[in-house]
Amino acid sequence: MSGNIELLSDTLAAAKTEGRSALIAYLPAGFPTVDGGIAAIKAVFDGGADVVEVGLPHSDPVLDGPVIQTADDIALRGGVRIADVMRTVREAYEATGKPVLVMTYWNPIDRYGVERFTAELAEAGGAGCILPDLPVQESALWREHAEKHDLATVFVVAPSSKDARLAQITAAGSGFVYAASLMGVTGTRESVGAQAQDLVHRTKATTELPVCVGLGVSNAGQAAEVAGFADGVIVGSAFVKRMLDAPDETAALEAVRALAADLAKGVRGTA
Amino acid sequence: MPSEFFIPDPEGQVPTAEGYFGVFGGKFIPEALVAAVDEVAVEYDKAKSDPEFARELDDLLVNYTGRPSALTEVPRFAEHAGGARIFLKREDLNHTGSHKINNVLGQALLTKRMGKTRVIAETGAGQHGVATATACALFGLECTIYMGEIDTQRQALNVARMRMLGAEVIAVKSGSRTLKDAINEAFRDWVANVEHTHYLFGTVAGPHPFPAMVRDFHRVIGVEARRQLLERAGRLPDAAIACVGGGSNAIGLFHAFIPDTDVRLIGCEPAGHGIETGEHAATLTAGEPGILHGSRSYVLQDEEGQITEPYSISAGLDYPGIGPEHSYLKDSGRGEYRAVTDDAAMQALRLLSRTEGIIPAIESAHALAGALEVGQELGKDGLIIVNLSGRGDKDMDTAARYFGLYDKGADAVVAADADSDTAEIEGDAK
């Protein structure tokens, strides 16, 4: 079975046709449990997310702030395995028919085996991978297997990326480009800086791929602001925080569904 | 005049331009750090060929650090090592009390050249943190040190030293609350503040150019030792021995001996409570290749790439990774790596103290324990050089508890029996 890169591209194109940005949500697998995590993903799709990124929890999440670190810890203490991540992707995709990606640090894939990981992800119905600590110059092996299995390779670009480097990254990527709105780790921020707009502008000068903005977005107002210049708005920590703050699982599901609905209005400029 | 103390590796040797030592090394970093890491590489390349940089660094190494460091023969200690001759390279006599200052002064000069005003660093035992805080005081740089919470407790003296020097010390409470987690937190800080902050990395791990650059700054250890030993013993050693956590003091000693193929290069890893217990930090003995903190090297990890929590009585060796050049030396067979338990290291610490009047750091005591073994293997004609990477003042609380040196009723709880092979420290990490 081949991966769902086309479904991802079609979904982002459809949002563009509607004259809006796509809403992309991030949730870690296995948090608070594997089944609870799957239910949460279904809830954010139900609330209005267009795409979901499933985080593969890692022992050493150096690019994540305290909120996602806490969720990763809970998932790992619960014993989450790569097989559980694959089941999460499969069940979320089969229940919704929407694009589901995996976001992971590189070492788990390196250790698990690139061919084994890409084959299993494609078979589960995954659309691709976001690899925030795999630099483009080390990515040839991954890309070869991802292409073979029709999986997107989403690279991250940062405000510090120089123009020549942006061109090199976007030429190697597929699906979309993840533009980090600011210099820092994941987590909610009061405001999403002006550097995000500049980065999107510079990135678009190098590629036809959609450019989606992540890091720091937590509410509909910020989503609307980012939607003014980006093809997609990526929200992670704000969802995880709602779940951490909820008194029980039912309340957690309702909280992420409500946040997704709110953000969905934001990306449509109707908040 | 060529530099006498800043002696980078001659051109044309490893690593490659991409930072590879064989299959190990590279640059596995988030995009947000690419520009900063590239800037370090470019500035270091410029500095390496700039006589003014070498002159400034040499001046500091001589007049501030106190180089060259002494070479001390330890015959009473060596009686316990099968009669082999043993010499210690006395990096413990450097200013701040360890080898770490060699690298720190080099990178501090580089920080000034890059126009950055703030320095961050990780530390395990506090040796690198103290050296960094020292250089920041000397150069007027803002300084933040990340240290695992467990390490701030077992190396409390060094926390006080860093604060006395004006540094901010942040106790890291995530993960295993040791060196690995301090590095994670320093990376998080760097990503957010990279514009004006240099990450003064303390070992020969991390993304290129750190493994090669930090090695170059420590290369002076082996260059001096080789010359001193030829003068004193009239020949090259049979073995050069050092402890390995991340591997900086070991590569510093080994590197000048790599072309001398008859000199065995022996790294001593922390076996903690014993490899078979799973409570150890012996990365090259028990790890598998993977990616940790920016480069490919041996890593203590499970079959799905999650990093496993290390353990060692020594905060400075309590790390699940290792510099990529050591992985390269291991796989090429040029380096040998063996594991030394907590207890063997502590016994060697006491033995050196009582036979020679030198109290070593617990880190360095792992190398001394290795020398006792290797000496027995070589016999009485053997000649060994050991890198005494640091002094033991910082470890006196741990050692006092281990050997029961506190008076009864004194503040500390004496939880260990000095003669017990299974002695453990109360409150230590498991």
Question: Of B127, B165, B171, B178, whose CA–CA distance to B146 is shortest?
Answer: B171
Q: Do A107 and B305 touch (CB under 8 A)?
A: yes
Hey, what CATH class is A5-267 in? alpha beta
Instruction: Report the DSSP pairing between strands B295-299 and B288-292.
Output: antiparallel
Element (H, E) at B172: strand B168-172
For residue A48, what are its two tokens?
Answer: 């209005």
pLDDT in tens, B318-355: 999 999 999 999 999 999 999 999 999 999 999 999 99
**For the segment B307-318, what is each residue's pLDDT rounded down to a tens digit?**
999 999 999 999
What CATH class has B71-96+219-403?
alpha beta
Q: Within an 8 Å CB–CB cutoff, is residue A68 touching chain B?
A: no
Check if A245 is active-site: no
> What are the percentages of helix, strand and coil residues in chain A, rounded to 5?
50, 15, 35
**Count of C-beta atoms within a 10 Å radius of residue B232:** 13
pTM over 0.90: yes
Q: Are strands A177-180 and A156-157 parallel, antiparallel or unpaired?
A: parallel
Q: Do A156 and B304 touch (CB under 8 A)?
A: no
Active-site hit among B100, B116, B330, B394: B100
Which parts of A166-231 are beta strand (E)?
A: 177-180, 211-214
Q: State the pLDDT confidence band at A271, using cuts at 50, 70 and 90.
A: low
Query: In this complex, do B290 and A161 lie within 8 Å of one another by their Cβ atoms?
Result: no
Please report residues of A whose CB lies closer than 8 A to that of B308.
Answer: 59
Q: Is the pLDDT of residue B200 over 90?
A: yes
Sequence-distant (6+) residues with CB within 8 A of B310 are B176, B178, B180, B270, B272, B280, B281, B283, B300, B318, B319, B320
Residues of A in contact with B36 (CB under 8 A): 160
pLDDT range class, residue A214, cuts 50, 70, 90: very high
Q: Is B27 on the interface with A (CB under 8 A)?
A: yes
Catalytic pick among A35, A50, A60, A64: A64
pLDDT at A190: 73
Of A109, A135, A185, the CB nearest to B31: A135
* B175 touching chain A per CB within 8 A: yes
Give the Cα separation of B236 and B258 in Å (integer). Answer: 12
Residue A159: is the preceding peptide bond cis (ω within 30°)? no
Domain positions in chain B are: 21-65+99-210, 71-96+219-403
With CB atoms and an 8 Å threshold, state whether A157 touches B304.
no
CATH topology of domain B21-65+99-210: Rossmann fold (3.40.50)
- SS3 of B236-293: the string is CCCEEEEECCCCHHHHHHHHHHCCCCCCEEEEEEEEECEHHHCECCCHHHHCEEEEEC
- Confidence class of residue B421 from pLDDT cuts 50, 70 and 90? very low
Interface of B with A in 269-288 (CB under 8 A): 288
- Beta strand pairing status for B383-388 and B85-90? parallel
The average pLDDT across B110-126 equals 96
Name every chain B residue with its beta carbon within 8 A of the beta carbon of A110: 290-291, 305
Mean pLDDT on B188-203: 94
- Tell me if A135 and B194 make a contact (CB, 8 A cut-off): no
8 A C-beta contact, residue B9 and residue B216: yes
What phi, psi does A19 have (nearest 5°)?
75, 35
**Residues B122, B224, B269, B356: which is the catalytic one?**
B122
The proportion of chain B whose per-residue pLDDT surpasses 90, expressed as a percent, equals 90
Average pLDDT (A73-77) is 96
Look at phi and psi of residue A127 and say left if phi exceeds 0, alpha if psi is from -120 to 50, else beta: alpha
Residue B425 confidence (pLDDT): 37
The mean pLDDT value of chain A amounts to 95
Which residue of B36, B194, B305 is in closest CB contact with A108? B305
Helix B127-139 vs helix B156-164: crossing angle, to nearest 10:
0
- pLDDT band, very low/low/confident/very high, at B419 (cuts 50, 70, 90): very low
Cβ of A112 within 8 Å of Cβ of B36? The answer is no
Pairwise CA distance, residues A264 & A271, whole Å: 8
Nearest C-alpha neighbor of A228 from the set A258, A271, A185, A260? A271
- Determine, for residues A60 and B307 on separate chains, whether the beta-carbon distance falls below 8 Å: yes
Its sign, for the CA torsion B143, B149, B154, B160, is positive
pLDDT for B371 beyond 60 = yes
Is the predicted pLDDT of residue B240 greater than 50, yes or no?
yes
Q: Identify the pLDDT of residue B429.
A: 37
Band of pLDDT at residue A183, cut at 50, 70 and 90: confident
Largest CA distance in chain A: 48
The reply to whether B291 touches chain A by the CB within 8 Å rule is yes
| pLDDT at site B410 | 62
Position A182 scores a pLDDT of 83
Looking up tokens 């009582």 gives B354
- Which of the two residues, A64 and A144, has the higher pLDDT score? A144
Which chain B residue lies closest to A180 (C-alpha atoms)? B32
Q: Model ipTM?
A: 0.94
Cβ separation A59–B303 shorter than 8 A = no
Residue A223: CB atoms within 10 A of its CB come to: 29
Min distance B347 CA to chain A CA atoms (Å): 34
DSSP code, position A188: B
On chain A, the residues whose CB falls within 8 A of the CB of B188 are 62-63, 65, 185
Confidence bin at B261 (pLDDT 50/70/90): very high
Instruction: Give the closest of B29, B32, B184 to A183, CB-based.
Output: B32
Question: Taking CB atoms and an 8 Å cutoff, what residues of chain B touch A157?
Answer: 31
Work out the average pLDDT over A3-13. 98
Q: What share of chain B is helix, strand, coil (3-state, %, to 5)?
A: 45, 20, 35
* Sign of the dihedral through C-alpha A29, A35, A40, A41: positive
pLDDT at B411 over 60: no
pLDDT at residue B11 in the model: 62
B195 near A CB under 8 A: yes
Residue A269 sits at φ, ψ, to 5 deg, of 70, 25
Check residue B176 and give its pLDDT.
84
Q: Is the pLDDT of residue B408 over 90?
A: no
Mutate to test the interface with A, among B120, B306, B307, B319 (most CBs of A within 10 A): B306
Predicted confidence band of residue B9 (pLDDT cuts 50, 70, 90): confident
A 29-48 residues inside an 8 A Cβ radius of B: none
Report percent pLDDT > 70 for chain B.
94
Task: Report the pLDDT value the prediction gives residue B2, as an integer from 0 to 100.
Answer: 61
Is the per-residue pLDDT at A149 higher than 70?
yes
Least confident of A181-185, B233-237, B260-264, B270-274: A181-185
Using the Cα atoms of residue B82, residue B353, residue B61 and residue B131 in order, give the sign of their dihedral.
positive
CB contact under 8 A, A62 and B36: no
B29–A138 CB contact, under 8 Å: no
Q: What is the mean pLDDT of residues B216-227?
A: 98
B188/A62 CB distance under 8 A: yes
B304, B307, B308, B319, best to mutate vs chain A, most A CBs in 10 Å: B304
Q: CA B322: distance to chain centroid? A: 10
Rounded Cα distance between B193 and B200, Å, is 13
Q: Which residues pair with B241 in a beta bridge?
A: B266, B386
Question: What DSSP character marks residue B148?
Answer: E
> Which of chain B's residues have a Cβ under 8 Å away from the Cβ of A169?
31
Scanning A31-158, the segments in alpha helix (DSSP H) are 34-47, 66-77, 82-96, 106-112, 114-123, 140-148
- Residue A144 falls in the annotated catalytic set: no
Q: In angstroms, rounded to a whole number, what is the distance separating the alpha carbons of residues B183 and B186? A: 5
Contact, B166 vs B142, CB < 8 A?
no
Question: What are the structural domain ranges in chain A?
Answer: 5-267
Provide the greatest CA pair distance for chain B: 61
Mean pLDDT lowest among A110-124, A175-189, B219-233: A175-189
pLDDT score recorded for residue B420? 42
Question: Between B417 and B91, where is the model more confident?
Answer: B91
Q: What is the pLDDT of residue B181?
A: 92
Of the listed ranges B30-34, B172-176, B349-353, the one predicted with least confidence: B172-176
